Structure 1
Amino acid sequence: MSDISILAPVAPLRAEQLLPYAALVQWTAARRLWQGQTLAVDPAVSFAAVAGGGFRVPCATGVTLMPMRHPVEAALQARTLAAVTGHPYVAGFGPGARSFQQSVLGRPYVSQLTATREYLTTVRSVLDGGGGPGRGDYVHCDTGLAPLPAPPVEVGVGVLRSGMAGLAGEVADVAITWLAPAAHLRDTLLPALRAGAARAGRPAPRVAAMVPIAIRRADRDLATIVLASNSAHLRLPHYVDMLGRAGIPIDPTDPAGSARRLVDGDGFLFDDLDGLVKKVRAYVDAGVDEVVLNVSGVCQTEGAGAALRELETLVREVAP
């Protein structure tokens, strides 16, 4: 049976905003607490503060953006969190949108796959005690970290389409998806992932799927709750392309219609509890190892308390 984990539905400005969600991981069947990238507070710093507050739970990032930090710093940060929490840590990375690469680096990566390969292999080499692979097209690294006993770090990568899935199969420990329907994972991403692993002569990496979800109720408007958590993603070309390939046409000029199609195509799970249990099970049946419940739409529309109650209910119903 797959693990059920939770995504912190807030972009915390203070560590105490994360504590209830860390407590949920500590006291329920939820496996791990995830955070995404924010430009408000660094997720790794938030995790360290939560651990300092007494909640040393398994943590993960899915995903932090490669242009923001050198792979040596990324490796050091991930290993530090493994040591501080006392648990294996999942460090997920991704290149981000081309517009973000342009804004930080001055130009986008010419090859998203080459840049990601160099970044992931450098982080892995540094974590394993090596000095990095030397000079590449995007990464230069001839140094390493001082030895430190710590739980292991899994290096993950954000995966939307088959090219990155194949790369994840070759070099990553975890493939991390966002907004990808279970059918897209089953029919496109997992076959590409396994093919990449076969090319590299290694086992296929674990798969963690970030799944936006909300319990359908009479007082909840579908479009409002979907767009509260995903409106930015539905404007980004790489998400629009991925969802189109998954059979969900997204029109950035028609957000309400796109939200309805996202729910109809099971990119956003919006149903009663029995329906949600079946839809989460579809991810498990597709081959996903860790389903990460994302109730940020509930949090944005109804507040952190409602999001926490939603997660408590969902974990109780869908966790093994």
Structure 2
Amino acid sequence: MDVAIIGGTGYGAVELLRFLHNHPHVNIKKVISHSNSGRDLADVYPHLTEVADIQMSALEVDTLAEEVELVFFATPSNVSKNVIPSLVEKGVRCIDLSGDFRLRDGDKYQEYYGEEMASQQYIDKAVYGLPEINKESIKEASILANPGCYPTATALGLIPAVEQGIIDKKSIIIDAKTGVSGAGRSLSLNVHFSEMNENFKAYKIGVHKHIPEIEQMISERAEEELQVIFTPHIVPMTRGIMSTIYVDLNDQYSTKQLLDIYQSYYKDHPFVRVRPEGVIPATKEVYGSNYCDIGLYADERTGKLIIVSVIDNLVKGASGQAIQNMNIMYGWDEMTGLDQLPIFP
């Protein structure tokens, strides 16, 4: 199947290229980059010499629709919403790695993204692409809204507890950390080496655009409106997200009882690994992979549950999950092209 990537020089696009290069069912037909049109991929990323024969080009919707069956959007927010409708109307399926089609509430989108939401008719078509909860809907999607990195790690950590009613759903506190690649490839003082090295800081407290996405997702699973406290941090590492979640338990549970619930919930989901009692995952243990690893600790002294969920923000938090969704959309094995061990150390 011929596919295209729009936004071809960002970190998300490079991860798509890395996994799709060895995918048995996919041919990368086009890489679209407005700023690098006419340049070979290897001019921008020398490590991509194996795909150096792909020359980046500008976007021409009509031509693209004739050449490919599926388009990945690895673009900043407020870009894909202006292009996806035209492609979908021409029969091209789209997987959007940005936030343009994730939220259902236009006021929330305006508040957190600073622009108007996509047309409601296309928002209604979009399927939220968290495979562990939406697999059946993903199969038929024409517009696939790939989840954000923080929401992926957080939701996978929270959803079993929310659905099973074992926690006070009004007590959710999320303390999350990300590596600097989460800020993208564009230059930024926030991730300048001198500013970031040997430093650790909280940012965008109360205003991060993943707040409404997290709340929307867990509210749907809880079947009631929920709010969370979410504090993101940036740490001096390249990749990885750790979401540490604190919630009040509704009853007395041992760690083993809760692990049994989580292991049962995720037993048919190959990319979620629930750790045994006493083992808490680290970001390095999922580096370069599409896994989400989860560890639990029931603090019987305080009546709280501590959930630790880790992912690679560029893989399960972005491009790997996009390919997982593609596999589901086309009826291929979910792990096709993604079944590889994390890089360690």
**Which bin holds the TM-score, normalised by the shorter protein?**
0.3 to 0.5
Higher RCO, 1 or 2 (CA under 8 Å, sep at least 6)?
Answer: 1
Structure whose residues are more often helix by fraction = 1
When Rg is computed on C-alpha atoms for both structures, the one with the higher figure is 2
TM-score relative to the length of structure 2: 0.32
